Structure 1
Amino acid sequence: MLKSLFLNHLEQNQAWDKYYRVWMSRVNYDVNHKHFHRAFTQILRLTDDIRKRHQEQYLYIPNMCLGLFYSSRNQPEMAETYFRRALKGVDANKEPVSVFNCYLSLALSLSFKHPAEAMACLDSLPKQMLENPMYDSGVLGYRCIIASQQGDRQAFDRYFARYDSIRQHNPAGFNPANLQQVMVCHYLLRNDYKQALAWCDSAAVPQLANQLRLEVFQTTGNWQQAFREIQLKDSMEQADEREVLEEHLMDVTHDIDLLQAEQEKAELRRKQLMSAGLMAATIIALLIAVLIYRYFKNLKLKEQFQELQEARRRAEAGQAIRRAFVTTIFEKLKSPISSLLNYARIFNDPEFKLKPEERSKRYRDIVAAAKNIESLMDPVLDSYSRGDLGITDEEKRVCQDALRSPLQTLIGTAEVIIDADGQLPHDEYMQLRSAICRDAYDVATSTRKLILFSLYGDAYPIPMNYEIGLNEMARTTLNSYDQHFKTQPKNIEFVTDVADDVKITTNMLLQELINCLLDNVVKYATGDTLQLSCHTLTDGSYAIAVSNEGPTIPASDAEHIFVPFVRLSPNEHTLGVGLPLARCLATSMGYTLTLDTTYTQGARFVVRLK
């Protein structure tokens, strides 16, 4: 665990030299403890890692590991091959220690069958490394063993003298790795077999002790003991092989388990991929179905859009025809409407005196104007059924009731005065004239509102090409307002917090809009306070408000009152287009008209200018 953490630390710091040497030490540990399968797997991983990281200068390390692997498996020829590969790949100038280890390991592999070549390898060792007594004594030990195998007593004595000198005089710098083998060779050459066997028994590794005793008994000709040592050697080798095979079997079993686990994971992933693929195919099929559905739906919508466009074109054409028709009627009605308004204003003046012989002509003019209006009302109402408004028969009846009653009263009263031919008493005549005055005004204004509603009730945009001061427009509208004809004349107060130099670009129909609102608040006022006001709003825009003191309109009827031909009370006989006309005119000019439901003293209408 600690070594793995250390490897991770070296990898993060990219210390590749130390990283691969630590990995090599792990392989050597497995080889020395005969974990050959694990060691071989580690060597393959080490080689792949070096190539993956493009660190080919360290490929000599896995070659050295393979040499040690085959050397421990008693395959010196294979070990020799990989040690030579390692020597070709290592840089002698940068890695003298690695070169030293390669030559030393190669010499060990060659010593079994080619002792002369093994001695030549030892002669090729870097000289600077031999200056260290630890390395020098180790090499001298190998030289002694190889010289003994060659039977070169003179060379052996020369190497042994130096070897034993280091052992005697510099024990701290002495390398005891091959001490037992060297001493056994030394005493065999001196024919001191007892000491040779004693050194054999001092070996801590049973296999080494067995091998040394076998050599002693073979040298002395004690074949019975040699045979026993051979049997013991075979027994130990078989035990080692069995242990290696068991461990190898465990490793293979572990690998098989891992492969089975990977296979199960692969099968699970395959099933997951199949499920995902099936889901993807289903989703794609659904998407294709949705696209096909949307395609045909879009085709249908396109057809419907074209039909709507055609219907709109026909409707606009019909609306244009209706507008032209109503405009023509309006032009014809302007004269009788003006005539009735003028007579109403004149007759409303108590100082105006009309000679008895002139009455017949004047009142015949009033009758003619009233009959002219009456004759053109039905075409105007019929035009609604062909326009966007599309009134019902009941709404048409409401209009006829609101217009015909004052018209017939006006005509009847005027005919009474005409038939009297100036013979009516003055008081009775003045009462009839006052009634004619009110009826003429009501007929004229109601007819005008109905015509305007017919023209602008569809709330189509109208041009804004008239510039005027906001306060000036409000004062002009208030000054021209005919409240003298109302049943309860009131004084209307004008209040403003807008500067007089503020101008707006609007349409002259804004005055008609305000007149409609004034008609409503005057009609339903019960108190004396009526107000027309102009205000600056917090966002910098402006508003016009008209209010009275009287009954409040419930919040539930705040929008209902703007519906055409609606009467909130069954006792009313009004036309019911005043507030709807005001709303349509406001919309056509881009304004908003609402009932202020927070105002509780009466009714308050607010026109918010854009």
Structure 2
Amino acid sequence: MKKSCSFILPLMNIFPSRRLCLAGTALILLLSACNNPTTPFAADTTVDSIWADSAYQRAKKAEFYYNNNLRDSLFVQVKEDMEFDKEHKQWDWYYYSWMLLVNKCTFGGDVKRALEEANLMHTDATKRNNAYGLALAKYTTALVYACQENYEEATIGFKEALRRYPKDCDPSVLFVIYYYYSSTLEEKNDQESNEEVLSLWKAALDKTFQESDKYDDTKALWLYQYYKALFGYHFSQKDLVQATADLDSMQYYVEHSGNTVYGVTYLTGSRSKLALASKDYAKAISYNNKEYIESKKLGPTIYIKAVERRAEILEAMGKYREALMLRNEFERLKDSLNQVDSQHELNEMTKRYELDELRSQQEKEKGELKQRQMNFIVAFAIILLIILFIVSIIRHRSRLRLAQEHQKLIDAYKQLTIANERAEESSKMKTMFIKQMSHEIRTPLNILSGFTQVLTAPDVELDNETRAEVNERITKNTARITELVNKMLELSDASSTSVIEKKDNISVEQIIISAIEAVGMSSYKMIDFQSEITPKASNVTLLTNYDQSVRALSLILDNARKFLQKPTGEANGQSMGKIRLMVRLEKDKNIVFSVEDSGIGVPPSEAEHIFEEFVQLDSFYEGMGIGLTVARSITRRLGGDIVLDTTFRRGARFIMTLPLS
């Protein structure tokens, strides 16, 4: 007699093309009751049955940890089980426990360890000449390759696992291998080989269930899985008649295996899929309504498939607006499913590339602050001694000096406090910048993906107004992504001190025209924009870098545009404010660009702070606080500079200077 270890498979495939491997979908293993609980996989009269039963009980506990995703407990249990099995020569249970560990690593995304453990299992089984261990080693290796979409290596591994699988071992693991082998061939689109594998699988099922009745409890389950794979094969072959028969068989075995909510939902979704392929849209939407309701109970991973199928049906029916709404819902669900993984990746990236740097910077700043405080304390003590000495000579003068020095210390301490607050603010802004960039890039990408799916759907017909709106939003979000990437590239170069090559002889007027066009100033109808250039400056040619000069000036103009006062009534034609660009020649050496705006202005105390990375004095306005940083970096590397004119009171005025040569 054999001890049965039945594998209950999930209702969906686990390959990365369906994004379920990373979502945590995995094999669910359960030990089933049997007539002889003391015998392992194969009858073995040479091994004490007590040890075999103990190995079985240990494996049952490990499978409990596996099924409930208790990874740490599973790894500890497997290590103990393998030591026990090795000591008492329970080799089938030994390799079975090892397989649990490898599969958990595979479905947990730890591919490197999964391959290492599978190779160690193969080496160990080869040394012991254990056929069952060799079969499991080939199977686990193939499963890793399948999850990595390396279907060529995966098919070779599954085929070798079937060849090596001992005939006298429990067939449950054999059926699992057939299931994943068939799924891999379906992903690979190798229908000829898949047909052969399905035929071999069916023969193995028939042989198992005809020769013995001890697997009756699992017969319905395994035949359901077989017909599920067979349906996928016939559907891919567009044999809708046979696919319909497969679904009828699936329904029979779902009913006989307990009508689980997963089985019923998958079956309903498959019938909707088949009706859609047959262009029976009424039946397709009817089945989808049931799938739509039931899948909500099973969580977003399954519900999202019902939403996607519903969108496909509505598109086929010509209901494009409703389909578009569902596509947006699909994108929202997909974004929600990936949010945890994306946040985890973002946190890992932050820890890896930023956290150590930020912590070391903060510790350094704290140390410097303490040292400065200590220095000031020492200096203060010295000053006090000097003051006490002077008091004995000229009391009045000493008192006055003490007051002055004390005030200086207070001012210095305030400056240190402000500097520390700014350093902490900069650290927070860096972290916020990383999160904001992740959000800013993902949002337009989701919009582009949704509209692209609608536009590329067969027989899509959109009226001119809708098409124009879609085109405008695609163009806008494409430009948005491009601008974000450009800003990231510029920011990475902002801290550079290398001199920019001056290779262009260009007129001042051309720089002005190009910068105004780059900002698109003419498109802002509610802004009163004026530009003035003195006669001497208009005839001047600069030896500079044309692209970088234009970029620096356009960033200053764009900064002025963003910080204009918001309009109180655009509808009645009220202006958002004024921007004035004035250009003049200074001492026949420099060209001075003066950009004035009537916005909220900048306090004189922030004149240098605003040029630091990620600084935003008012978060109400758009931007990420890097424009002025990049502009000053470019200008200084061209031999010029940008400063804030603190004497200007009617808004803000920035002065950009470029040398003639």
**TM-score computed with the length of structure 1 as normaliser:** 0.36
**TM-score computed with the length of structure 2 as normaliser:** 0.33
- Bigger CA radius of gyration: 1
